[in-house]
Structure 1
Amino acid sequence: MDQEYLQESIEQFLCEANCLKTYTHCIAVGDYACKLAERFMADPHKAQIAGYLHDISAIYPDDQRVAVANKMGIALCKEELTLPMIIHQKISREIALGQFNITDLEILSAIECHTTLKGNYSTLDLVVFIADKIKWDQDGEPPYITGLMTALDHSLESAAYYYIDYLLNHDIQVIHPWLNEAYVKLKQQLESA
Structure 2
Amino acid sequence: MEELFKTYTINFNLSGDLEHDVTTFLTSNKFTNTARHSCRVGREAERLAHSFNYNGDIAKAAGLLHDISAVFPTHERAAILEKLGLVVLKEEKIFPLIAHQRLSRVMAEEIFNIQDEEILSAIECHTTLKGNASKMDQIVFVADKIEWDQPGEPPYINRVKSQLEVSIGHAAFAYINYLWERKENLKVIHPWLTEAYEDLKRKLLIR
Shorter-chain TM-score category?
over 0.9
Matches within 5 A, 1:112-131: 112-131=124-143
Superposition misfits of 4+ residues, deviation over 2 angstroms: none
1:182 equivalent in structure 2 = 196
Matching residue's letter, 1:36 = L
Q: Which residue of 2 aligns with 1:39?
A: 51
Secondary structure at the counterpart of residue 17 of structure 2: helix
How does 1:96-107 map onto structure 2 within 5 Å? 96-107=108-119
Residues 127-179 of structure 1: CA distance to partner in whole angstroms, max 9, x if unpaired?
00000000000000000001111111111111111101101122222111111
2:95 aligned partner: 83
Residue 173 of structure 1: aligned partner: 187
Residue 73 of structure 2 aligns with which residue? 61
Question: What displacement does 1:74 show?
Answer: 2.2
Q: Does 1:141 align with 2:180?
A: no
SS of 1:86's partner is: helix
2:176 is equivalent to residue 161 of structure 1: no
With structure 1 as the length reference, what TM-score do the two structures score? 0.95
CA contact (8 A) 1:37 1:47 kept: yes
Taking the aligned partners of 2:141 and 2:102, their CA distance within structure 1 comes to 14
Residue 121 of structure 2 aligns with which residue?
Answer: 109
Which residue identity does 1:167 align to in structure 2? L
Which structure shows the bigger proportion of residues in helix conformation? Answer: 1
Find the aligned partners of 2:91 and 2:138 in 1 and give their Cα distance. 22
Shift of 1:3: 9.4
Asked if structure 2 preserves the Cα contact closer than 8 Å seen for 1:74 and 1:90, the reply is no
User: Between the two proteins, what is the percent identity of the paired residues?
Assistant: 48
Q: Distance in 2 between matches of 1:86 and 1:25?
A: 17
SS at match of 1:191: coil
CA 4–27 in structure 1, closer or farther in 2 if over 3 Å, else same? farther
**Whole-angstrom distance in 1 between the partners of 2:112 and 2:188:** 31
2:26 paired residue number: 14
User: Which stretches in structure 1 are left out of the alignment for 5+ residues?
Assistant: none
8 Å CA contact 1:33, 1:51 repeated in 2: yes
Shift of 1:4: 6.8
Q: Deviations over 1:86-108 (max 9, x none)?
A: 00000000000000000000100
> Residue type of the partner of 2:19?
Q
- Tell me which amino acid in the other structure corresponds to 2:94: T
